[in-house]
Amino acid sequence: MSTILTTENLSLFYGKKEALKGINIDFDDKGITALIGPSGCGKSTFLRCLNRMNDLIPNVTITGEVNFNGHNIYAPTTDTVQLRKEIGMVFQQPNPFPFSIYENVVYGLRLAGVHDKERLDAAVEKSLKQAAIWDEVKDRLHANALSLSGGQQQRVCIARVLAVEPDIILLDEATSALDPISSRMIEETLLNLRQDYTIITVTHNMQQASRISDRTAFFLNGELIEVNDTKQIFMNPVKQETNDYISGRFG
């Protein structure tokens, strides 16, 4: 298995507060990694470091490296717009633009200068199929995306990320605002995507982590305590803190 993304001694400070403490982790090319840990342990902060979303937050200092396909994304020459296409992100609250479903999906392609209708149509169909929502919306592609249910909106947001053909998809608690059925549909979607994409998902839901992820990383107080195959983490963790967390002793 080759590695697509590696962090080296990655630390992040909000002002003087150290929220991430020297994280070293490798992500395999393809498959799903779940990031788990109690509230405030730095999971979302870490996730946002992986496509430089923390650049947008004032007073943030980041040290160390994030190497994506061998290049440090924090190098001054990095084109962050391009980076965020290659490493796309889905957020906790579905955030479609107030446009049609079709325009949501082609948004990134239009920004990249793609205007050919056939190409855009093909991308819409392919991405909505990959996000497992094509059948539900194919007859109303020009309806406003905000008219969809929350779960449908979230799958459109996944399609919007997929349309620009990313290598990595980051999800920050992407199912926690959804009802259980919608949440399971997103899980199914991710399982169908795991062969073709590297997926890194923050989740509070340990059942979800064990159902869908190949690897699980446990964070605590800004530190990466343990990362391993998901079965190993849940059945036979190496570290006492991991064991305490997964057996519900804290968090």
Which residues of the shown chain bind ligand ATP in the complex (CB under 6 A)? 14, 19, 37, 39-45, 57, 204
Give 72 or 205: the residue with its C-beta nearer to ligand ATP: 205
Give 19 or 141: the residue with its C-beta nearer to ligand ATP: 19
Tell me the one-letter amino acid at 6: T
**Cα 193 to chain centroid, rounded:** 12
Kindly report the number of other CB atoms within 10 A of residue 249's CB atom.
10
Q: Among candidates 52, 65, 12, which has minimal Cα distance to 222?
A: 12
Distances (CA, A) of 17 to 24, 53, 54: 19, 18, 15
CB of 80 to ligand ATP, least distance (A): 18
Write the DSSP string, 149-196. -HHHHHHHHHHHHHHT--SEEEEESTTTTS-HHHHHHHHHHHHHHTTT
Give 68 or 218: the residue with its C-beta nearer to ligand ATP: 218
CB of 165 to ligand ATP, least distance (A): 28
CB of 244 to ligand ATP, least distance (A): 16
CB of 14 to ligand ATP, least distance (A): 3
Give 165 or 251: the residue with its C-beta nearer to ligand ATP: 251
Specify the DSSP element, H or E, that contains 114: none
Separation between Cα atoms, residue 133 and residue 111, nearest integer Å: 23
CB of 199 to ligand ATP, least distance (A): 17
Give 41 or 145: the residue with its C-beta nearer to ligand ATP: 41
